Amino acid sequence: MIIAIVAISKNLAIGRGGGIPWHFSEDLKFFKRTTTGHPIVMGYNTWKSLGRPLPNRLNIVLSRSRSVDPDPNVRLMRNKDEVIEFARGQDRDLFIIGGAAIYRTFADVIDRWIVTEIPVTIDDADAFLADGFLVGFELASSEVLGEGLTVKTYEKMP
């Protein structure tokens, strides 16, 4: 299954200046708990913002032209089809973790969205999800994390 996981502010912001414009430890713990043991897919800018491979996950960096330093926990892929082919051969879920362009690239193949609602508005954000990104999905579950955060899981409608 291809799952997009994202934290999003009230105004659909997901980033500012190449990073996440908030810090909620409950969100970080939830992300780690949910994605550990699974391959994660990110764009080059998200990769650079992390500064290192996330442990206990295969880190897939999607970039047409950039390169990454060799690492056994990192795989560079050049296009969406390569990632999809890889996902078909897995017995684990594949998580799309951003940024905005990567979410748009995979929008048509995402089976589930896991959305952490951040209770703030980021006026100076520069990365957003498109309004309507959940069209074709229905709410399947909701979980309160603490710190004012709610995680909602949406499944693709049949």
pLDDT tens digits, 114-153: 999 999 999 999 999 999 999 999 999 999 999 999 999 9
**How far apart, in whole angstroms, are the C-alpha atoms of residue 101 and residue 84?**
16
Q: What is the pLDDT of residue 129?
A: 97
**How far apart, in whole angstroms, are the C-alpha atoms of residue 68 and residue 77?**
10
> Looking at residue 83, what DSSP letter applies?
H
Of all residues in the chain, the percent with pLDDT exceeding 70 is 100
Q: What is the pLDDT of residue 116?
A: 98
Hey, what CATH topology would domain 2-156 get? Dihydrofolate Reductase, subunit A (3.40.430)
Q: What is the pLDDT of residue 20?
A: 94
pLDDT tens digits, residue range 17-53?
A: 999 999 999 999 999 999 999 999 999 999 999 999 9
Name the phi and psi angles at 106, rounded to 5.
Answer: -95, 5
pLDDT tens digits, residue range 53-81?
A: 999 999 999 999 999 998 999 999 999 99
The tokens describing 26, both together, are 């409950």
pLDDT-based confidence at residue 82 (cuts at 50, 70, 90): very high
Class of residue 138 by CB neighbours under 10 A (exposed 0-12, middle 13-18, buried 19+)? exposed
Task: Give 133's Cβ-side CA count (13 Å radius).
Answer: 27
Q: What is the pLDDT of residue 24?
A: 96
Q: What is the pLDDT of residue 75?
A: 96
